[in-house]
Amino acid sequence: MLLVGTAEWLKGEGRAIASVANCEIIEVTEEELTKASFLCHPQQVLAVFKTLESHVDTNLLTSKLTIVLDGVQDPGNLGTIIRIADWFGIENVICSADTADAYNPKVVQATMGSIARVNVTYMNLSVLFDSLPKDFPIYGTLLEGDNIYNQELTEIGLIVMGNEGKGISPAIRNLVNRALRIPNYPEGRATVDSLNVAIATAIVCAEFRRRF
């Protein structure tokens, strides 16, 4: 790890953090830090990390609740979903190949640090689902699904969330065996056609954790 910080930050907590982390330190001016940062008003320190090659043991998934993202493309949405997973104690987020890059700066920023605690893996979702036991719970949020508040949920399973504009792709939709819907209120009233995918993820995860 590499820490890049201003003299003011290094005089304060910076040196202590660096000594514990056993990392290289580079002192820069505020002007240099602004040029290096993607933010208009950066903090007094930047950290450079090596990205991890993430893998997931599909055997372990059968004992946990896991979020699966099918084509979520907005970096802010992906980062927020990773943060939501962290909040609700969901260790793994599995993404399709066409989902946004988890190490995109906007994604990392939106996670608010949760990227360090949630395992984000990219893989072929059809291959993943085929590797699971028969009738393993695969939940998907669909407009034609059943009201989530009236349905039996399980402590383990996959929660599939789809693309912002198109929802879950047809190929993956065919593999979902438990379709869920978040109802509007009052149900049936004319309203927007869908919720933001990150908001929907939070609502679904909250209902699962409320029960278990």
- As a whole number of angstroms, the distance between CA 25 and CA 10 comes to 9
58-211: CATH architecture: 3-Layer(aba) Sandwich (3.40)
| DSSP annotation string for 78-140 | HHHHHHHHHHTT--EEEE-TTSPPTTSHHHHHHHTTGGGTSEEEE--HHHHHHTSPTT--EEE
What are the pLDDT tens digits along the chain (212 aa)?
Answer: 888 899 998 888 777 777 777 788 899 999 999 998 888 888 898 888 888 778 888 888 999 999 999 999 999 999 999 999 999 999 999 999 999 999 999 999 999 999 999 999 999 999 999 999 999 999 999 999 999 999 999 999 999 999 999 999 999 999 999 999 999 998 878 888 889 999 999 999 999 999 99
- As a whole number of angstroms, the distance between CA 173 and CA 182 comes to 17
Q: Which stretches within the chain are classed as H helix?
A: 7-9, 15-21, 30-36, 58-61, 75-87, 105-111, 125-130, 170-173, 197-211
The pLDDT tens digits of the residues spanning 168-196 come to 999 999 999 999 999 999 887 888 888 99
β partners of residue 25: 3
How many percent of the chain have pLDDT more than 90?
72
Kindly list the domain boundaries of the chain, sorted by start residue.
2-48, 58-211
